[in-house]
């Protein structure tokens, strides 16, 4: 085999290349938009999360109760999803944690 990810000596794709391709297809078809309900401190939330790919990482566009969209990304330094960008301080802390836990289960 000439290249572990590319084509072999007879021009066929390696098993690893095929697996990487299929993982990408699987992720596209099965990581659909999600909607879920949370009840935190007596406050109901309807959360909508839409996954998207950013440089090979899965990020989520998230809104709750009709709010503006927020972007959640996995932060390896803290080991969970966090909201990034402007106005993320408007998300209640307990809601951000609950959303992060749910996104981790989805990803």
In tens digits, what is the pLDDT along the chain, a chain of 107 residues?
Answer: 444 555 556 566 566 655 555 455 455 445 688 999 999 999 999 999 999 999 989 999 999 999 999 999 999 999 999 999 999 999 999 999 999 999 998 87
Looking at the structure, tell me whether residues 5 and 38 fall in a common domain: no
Report the 10 Å Cβ neighbour count for 99.
24
Backbone phi and psi for residue 58, each to the nearest 5 degrees, phi listed first: -90, 125
What is the spatial distance between Cα 87 and Cα 11, in angstroms, rounded to a whole number? 51
Looking at the structure, tell me whether residues 24 and 35 fall in a common domain: no
Looking at the structure, tell me whether residues 5 and 16 fall in a common domain: yes
Looking at the structure, tell me whether residues 93 and 51 fall in a common domain: yes
Domain residues for 65? 31-106
Number of domain units in the chain: 2
Looking at the structure, tell me whether residues 100 and 65 fall in a common domain: yes
Looking at the structure, tell me whether residues 55 and 95 fall in a common domain: yes
SS3 of 61, please? strand
């Amino acid at each position: 085999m000439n290249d572990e990810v590319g084509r072999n000596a007879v021009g066929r794709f390696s098993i690893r290349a095929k697996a990487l391709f299929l993982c990408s297809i699987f992720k596209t078809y099965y990581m659909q938009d999600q909607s879920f309900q949370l009840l935190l401190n007596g406050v109901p939330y309807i959360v909508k999360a839409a996954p998207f790919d950013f440089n090979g990482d899965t990020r989520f566009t998230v809104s709750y109760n009709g709010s503006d969209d927020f972007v959640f990304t996995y932060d390896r330094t803290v080991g969970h999803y966090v909201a990034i960008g402007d106005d993320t301080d408007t998300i209640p802390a307990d809601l951000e944690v609950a959303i992060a836990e749910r996104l981790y289960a989805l990803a």
